[in-house]
A and B are shown apart, each in its own frame.
Chain A
């Protein structure tokens, strides 16, 4: 797994995950994400376009990050999920509790909207 972060605007960052989010790699992902939501009112666009595989460990990291985000009034939007990754999200019921869009621009709009609320 590789994680890269790109600052889109003052308080919005896009994180790109390449590879697998499994039990071995998820802790790192979780650390990054939780650290990001340490500060208040930050928006994160999660690029899963090149994320091949996610297990419950990856989902767990997302839940942890999302809980943190709620406390700091952050915003999180996922985009570019592959079909089988989406399947996992749906089974886990994550498709309803996470903001999921298909493209980067949609994600950006969604984050801005969430932060502006």
Chain B
């Protein structure tokens, strides 16, 4: 309980928060990373652009000055040498960024006879210094800054170079040609010392190891952290890819291996258009990432601390929420263990748990009271129940409960069951033999249930049985019982009764019905209800004549008696079981023993009612008639001794009684049997040894017996003997010869036959 609730809260709240947190941190890290990368790149671009523009300005200024000098010379071709020098010196002085300036003439262009004329001022340690260029050692006509514009007749920026014999510095020169009389006559130049530019460029720093460098139009390194490479190395040789891109004179970005450090780096570059140089800013990928990682590390740390704090908070909160619920659960366990005096401390909180606590305490209090009451009523109920148990036992002992009740009679099978709704019921059944061929059977239902009904039932049953055992038809019997019941019936109870008498020899049933459900007749044609003239139940009114009706059971037909507890049983949907369902149920199990029949119906009923409470007593009685079947037979075997005769008499008497043969007829049959047997025993066998005689008796038709006596003695037909003269007096009368005479006269037919070495004597007798 404890673990479940708080852990669940913890897992769900904290888990979902964590996922959210991770998402937010993750995405913010992603965007920050992009931002850092982009920022660094932007910064680098700005740097590159800034310096490119700055240098471009310088170069353009140099260009302007050079062109102005060229224009001046064009306009003043006769200018004196001193003036020219003054102008040059002034230019140098006024523009600190200019390293040197020169006006170089073609041979003989300034003055006939002067091969070289090139006044040149340059800045030597802050002092303008004049040099007249042009010596055989320094033949400026072959220098690029002169040679190229002379041939193209166009202004020209040289490649950076170290001017040996001139400025003695790394510089770049702008040459602007001038024309006198339409003829190329010389060049005005401005030198820019690149060392300043190089230093400045070298000072550029991006992150820790980022730097800037400049390449010339041809790709030569002009500014580079590794000074040894300056002017000596072409970028193409150390990073061909960068060289190729940078020479395009466009702004650009490259992701490549740093030419200086060799590791992965990013490079942004910007062209300086006038001199066709390109400045590049390089910064290490690793350092950008390091910044990003730094940032990430911080964010993750903060996130983890936050999550842990959240975990603590959620744990505390969930525990504080779960605590009262756990208390409540413990309390429920206590109460369910029987500690009803348990009470939860009343929480001051007004939330649901507070309400629950209050409700729980109230429930325990109510439960305590309820259990007290229950204990009292239970004790009371137990007392009544035990008394009802006794009553039920008494009632059960009243109703016949041993089945089969008449095992010696096989003309019919009977079975009955009664299930009281309350502990004792008002239903009853009964059956009894009225004489050697009639069976009385009763089913009844007393109004009401419980003890009064059971008592009334006991009275009814006793009265009915005692009345029935006297002679009289079922109708008379009910009439009489009714007249006996009414005057004594102060409780105004009544009882419905069906009373039938089965002649089990003939199958005939006489019956009378006092307000009871008509029984079901299960014949070969199906199941129907037995039509009867129903009169008022017993105990209602005196002087009612109950008519006796008759029906007949054929062999293997059944009469099924029941009380309305079956047909009026209800299921959980309040539907009645009703007569139709009973008929269907009976039809399904037709042809079985009465016990199976009753169990089948009760099982079907149980299935129908399901869990619905049994509201009325349920009683059923089934009587299956086997009939006096044609061909029913028995055979006996005796020895050839006289003492055997009495034994066979007894057996035969029992067999005949079961068939319903009257006592005089049994005597007649036995007499005939004896006469034949004695004859055989006395005269049939020539020796004194043991022999057997077979006797077979069978019912060959309704109320007709056939007896066959078979012996293996010598051939003898007793019927051939002379019949005695019964009219003779004592003196003349022979002593023997009477036996066969008696047989012939007592039996309906007597025949003799000799077959397979045996005497067969057969006689038949119709009986009542």
Contacts and interface: CB of A to CB of B under 8 A. Distances in A.
A64 B730 CA distance: 9
Contact of B642 (A20, A24, A88): A24
A63 B730 contact: yes
A97 B729 contact: yes
Contact of B738 (A52, A59, A64, A70): A59
Contacts of A24: 642-643, 645-646
Contact of B667 (A53, A56, A57, A97): A53
B646 A20 contact: yes
A23 B648 CA distance: 13
A66 interface: yes
A53 B642 contact: no
B736 A60 contact: yes
Contacts of B671: 53, 55, 88
Contacts of A3: none
Contacts, number: 77
Contacts of A56: 675, 678, 736, 738-739, 741-742
B731 interface: yes
Contact of A55 (B675, B726, B728, B736): B675
A91 B645 contact: no
Contacts of B727: 93, 96
A55 B674 contact: yes
A22 interface: yes
Contacts of A96: 726-727
Given A55-B739, A70-B731, A83-B664, A91 B642 contact: no
A23 B642 CA distance: 7
B745 interface: yes
Main secondary structure of the interface of A (DSSP, over half): helix
Contacts of A2: none
A103 B615 CA distance: 67
A60 B738 contact: yes
A67 B741 CA distance: 21
B674 A84 contact: no
Given A23-B642, A84-B664, A92 B742 contact: yes
Contacts of B726: 91-93, 96
Nearest to B677: A23
A115 to B, nearest CB: 17
A103 to B, nearest CB: 22
B379 interface: no
Nearest to B739: A56
B670 interface: yes
Interface string A37-72: 000000000000000110111011001101100100
Interface in A73-99: 83-84, 87-88, 91-93, 96-97
Contacts of B646: 20, 22, 24
A59 B736 CA distance: 9
Q: Is the interface of B mostly helix, strand, loop or mixed?
A: helix
B731 A67 contact: yes
Contacts of B741: 56, 91-92
A23 B645 contact: yes
Bin chain A's interface residue count: 20 to 34
B735 interface: yes
B524 interface: no
Nearest to A54: B671
- Most chain B CB within 10 A, of A22, A52, A66, is at A22
B733 interface: yes
Contacts of B725: 93
A88 B742 contact: yes
Interface string A3-38: 000000000000000001011100000000000000
Contacts of A55: 671, 674-675, 678, 739, 742
Nearest to A83: B664
A97 B678 contact: no
Nearest to B737: A56
Contacts of A57: 674, 678
Contacts of B535: none
Nearest to B725: A93
Given A55-B678, A84-B668, A92-B741, A60 B735 contact: yes
B746 interface: yes
A66 B734 CA distance: 12
Given A23-B642, A91-B742, A92-B726, A84 B667 contact: yes
Interface string A101-116: 0000000000000000
Contacts of B645: 22-24
Interface string B641-684: 01101100000000000000000100110110011001001000
Given A24-B646, A56-B675, A91-B741, A70 B730 contact: yes
B645 to A, nearest CB: 6
Given A55-B674, A55-B678, A97-B730, A63 B735 contact: yes
Contact of A66 (B681, B724, B728, B730): B730
27 contacts: A20-B646, A22-B646, A24-B642, A24-B643, A52-B667, A55-B671, A55-B674, A55-B739, A55-B742, A56-B736, A56-B739, A59-B738, A60-B735, A60-B736, A63-B730, A66-B730, A67-B731, A87-B664, A91-B726, A91-B742, A91-B746, A92-B738, A93-B726, A93-B728, A96-B727, A97-B729, A97-B733
Given A23-B678, A56-B742, 16 more contacts: A22-B646, A23-B681, A24-B646, A55-B674, A55-B739, A55-B742, A57-B674, A60-B738, A63-B730, A64-B735, A67-B735, A70-B730, A91-B726, A91-B742, A92-B741, A97-B729
Which 5 pairs show the lowest CB-CB distances between chains A and B?
Answer: A93-B726, A56-B739, A56-B738, A23-B678, A91-B745
